[in-house]
Structure 1
């Protein structure tokens, strides 16, 4: 199955180019405090868990879990191994959290244990990890009608090394009830060398399918599929019916094992060209157009050429072979004004007309491509040298009186380098285990993941310029697999200034976005709403019809925030000894 490169299509109708700023509102936010009988089962990172991936996966873990089927119902695990539930019906009459399940095993005996994790598989099922390597599948009954009813474990099995649960789903086909669970592990790479580049750890995602033929017992694990990569995914979720998997990460993932058997990784069928060590293509540019010269097998004819060009993507190759040049262009071009021609029967010259004249492209393809090389004209080279003359010197240290020596490149660490692989969003087919759709996220910073509709996959939020855009995966729409469904104005810019930010989220109705710091403070950014009085912008001399409000709440606790979840009416904040309920909307 061929991989298709896609781009996220922004819905311009959901953008507000006239948005000015948030106005600080002094209206108090009602805060209700529930004191916990036992502390939350927080697991702190050990000295051996020193990598950035460990911090992202476990150090920033959200210990509070919300039930997407039943609003205003949250769950967490305490240090006694109890799964506790708090369901809010009246804010002024909050009760104590109710125990719904108690883990029979003691996970604290495991030295390498992780935080316990919970995922709601369906309206009547849940999956639970004890953090020590054991997976539970629990029948919960209808949780809203029986919120105090104890959950019944119908599957409990050791799954190897400790893991956390990223996502789970449930479906019934031909009378067989199946549950798909996605597990995350960070493992020491046995093939790593202490002198080799990298952290020495690898990230694995395990996709487990458990099925039963009756409603009384989960009988067996049908399939275990393993993926490996070099970075913790920002987003990973299973499609309904288990038809596919979507992963967004800085480093690519690939399926390596199925039921313990190693999968063969076929080498890419590359085109044979002269001196394969040299760049496959060269490109130059002016303020008006781009010229790309692609090396081809000798004796090529126009009937052999496979050329596809759209406003944002290009693909150049030979019939029956993998493309030599393929990907998303750095900026839009005019396909009708572009053309290609064969030169000397061994190269293809492509001329791309820029839609916006003037800006020079820093790269031909978004994310870069190591198979090509940029050639600068003599005029451009001379102009560049002239501009840099005032910034250069022949002395190694132009100012020897400075207290600090110049930067030594040998002292740079891995985190100082530019990442070799750009962040991608990849969709894998559940049958072939091959990627079918790839989106290069480029500079779009990942912000958060949120469950909006239990019948759909989790949504994810990305930064686009200064805004934050919410995207909903639509696996049943191959031509528009990721839909832009909401925009939080200027949130991308605002959140970047919060140096102590730990969590971010939004409710299903998109009425506000919330940012939570490590300690105490919570920021609420509401969508623009009509004002009751007449306001004028004195700078522009126009009437202001809507105002977006910002509110700040301070929690009466000095403990670190461990959990952060939002509903349409409330925001839940969990610390080690308290659960705070903030009344956001009436």
Structure 2
């Protein structure tokens, strides 16, 4: 069955046709600070982290994690391995208090690819903690306004011990927990990517979507899905229902792992003959050797033949750009894009979360102001709606 895909368009009613630009506001902004004597926990610098994707992952990192369910509360990782809560209340207008709520378990062994630790809140009582060394902790926080100690309910080393950064998490209406994590790996280290790409030296951004279910008092991993790209991921989030992945990237490919490696798939979905089969480079080499006697070493064996087209007649519009930025909504079951829009002419600004129970939106700059693409669930067609601020 063919999946219908919608092209997203901005809501023009929210845009100001007379917008002439922004003006500098000199109003003072309240700033609260606290000196952390022991410093913050972060991944050590490494000479092996030299790719553009790794630089973005390490440099564009905020060590302060806000709580969407409590705007006056934030968290950070201290250098001693503690998750500390910092808050600003009405009774403390000029002071910031800090309370440790969780001590990270000691790492079993040094990991070759660590990242900065990260934190994500799936609900008002459930949090995800990544130690940056490949281990994920599911934590019961209780009422976070009380600054009580957190309790680890599940802990496991995922992704073969590679460090990863938490991007988003969702607790759906059925009680399933969806976690989105990102990390950078060499393309040659990802078998599904290596089979389809000849550039072994390329680095790729891998987005991993974990789904956990709870049986009694124990959580277990039920499903794992991945999407990969060798270019920049500007934005990634799961919809509130845990049914789709929304991504803004220059290029994105869904990675499917075969149960039997080396097996040839005549089609991706049974009964659906669309798409293109990409042959493994090693298999292609073997086929070329077998057919060598049918080929010619001459670049143009018929130089007098007329060209199929005139190169001089090609224009710039005929050349497809190497990288095209787009916002996509990928269905979690079919892996097909259900909604998409081009972002080539819009510069990414930031990610904004307008409501605790909703996924963050992607803010882009346009000539008529800032345009916010906000994923929304619960509508009849599951469309990704847009708005402007």
Deviates more, 1:97-106 or 1:9-18: 9-18
Give the superposition deviation at 1:213. 2.5
Q: Can you list the C-alpha shifts for 1:535-554, whole angstroms capped at 9, x where unaligned? A: xxxxxxxxxxxxxxxxxxxx
Q: Which residue does 2:300 correspond to in 1?
A: none
Cα distance between partner residues in 2 of 1:480 and 1:224 = 22
Check conservation: 1:8, 1:482, Cα contact below 8 A.
Answer: no
Partner SS, residue 57 of structure 1: helix
- 1:227 to 2:181 alignment: no
Give the corresponding residue for 2:151: 152
Q: Any conservation in 1 of the 2:186–2:201 contact (CA below 8 Å)?
A: no
Q: How far off its partner does 1:6 sit?
A: 0.8
Alignment of 1:422 onto 2:324:
yes
The runs of 5 or more residues in structure 2 that have no matched partner are 277-306
Measure how far apart 1:247 and its partner are: 1.1
Distance 1:438 1:203, change over 3 A: same
TM-score (norm 2): 0.78
Contact in 1 for aligned 2:41/2:77 (Cα 8 Å): yes
Per the TM alignment, residue 450 of structure 1 is displaced from its structure 2 partner at its CA by: 1.7
Gaps of 5+ in 1: 271-276, 286-360, 370-418, 488-586
Q: Distance in 2 between matches of 1:188 and 1:126?
A: 30
Is 1:44–1:59's contact at 8 Å kept on the other side of the alignment? no
Q: How do 1:123-134 and structure 2 match up within 5 A? A: 123-134=124-135
User: How far apart in 2 are the matches of 1:225 and 1:477?
Assistant: 25
Output the CA distance in 2 between the equivalents of 1:101 and 1:13. Answer: 44
Q: 1:223–1:258: 8 Å Cα contact kept in structure 2? A: no
Name the SS of the counterpart of 2:32 in structure 1.
strand
Contact 2:15–2:369 (CA under 8 A) maintained in structure 1: no
Q: 2:32, 2:94 within 8 Å by CA — same for their partners in 1?
A: no
Partner deviation per Cα, 1:383-410 (whole Å, 9 max, x = no partner): xxxxxxxxxxxxxxxxxxxxxxxxxxxx
SS at match of 1:109: coil
Deviates more, 1:154-163 or 1:449-458: 449-458
Alpha-carbon distance, 1:172 to partner: 4.2
Describe the superposition over 1:402-437 as per-residue Cα deviations: whole angstroms up to 9, x where unpaired.
xxxxxxxxxxxxxxxxx5130111111112222222
Alignment partner of 1:186: what SS? Answer: strand
Alpha-carbon distance in 2 for matches of 1:21, 1:463: 12
C-alpha distance 69-30 of structure 1, shift in aligned 2 (>3 A): closer
Give the alignment partner of residue 188 of structure 1, picking from 176, 186, 196: 186
Contact preservation (8 Å) 2:134, 2:157: yes
CA-based RMSD of the aligned residues comes to 3.2
The separation in 1 between residues aligned to 2:71 and 2:35, in whole angstroms, is 21
Q: Residue 12 and residue 124 in structure 1: after superposition, are their counterparts in 2 closer, same or farther (change >3 A)? A: same
- Closer/same/farther in 2, CA of residues 64 and 73 from structure 1, 3 Å limit: same
1:14/1:486 contact within 8 Å kept: yes
Q: How many angstroms apart in 2 are the aligned matches of 1:480 and 1:165? A: 25
Higher strand proportion, which one? 1
Report what 1:363 is aligned to. 317
How many Å separate the matches in 2 of 1:269 and 1:114?
Answer: 36
TM superposition shift of 1:166: 0.8
Q: Following superposition of structure 1 onto structure 2, how do residues 433-472 of structure 1 map, counting pairs within 5 Å? A: 433-465=335-367, 467-472=369-374
Separation of aligned partners in 2, 1:259 and 1:80: 41
CA distance in 2, matches of 1:42, 1:87: 22
Q: CA deviation at 1:224?
A: 1.2
| Alpha-carbon contact 1:257-1:263 (below 8 Å) kept | no
Distance 1:465 1:224 in 2: 40
Q: How does the TM-score come out when normalised to structure 1?
A: 0.53
8 Å Cα contact 2:21/2:369 also seen in 1: no
Aligned pairs for 1:341-420 (under 5 A) are 363=317, 369=320, 420=322
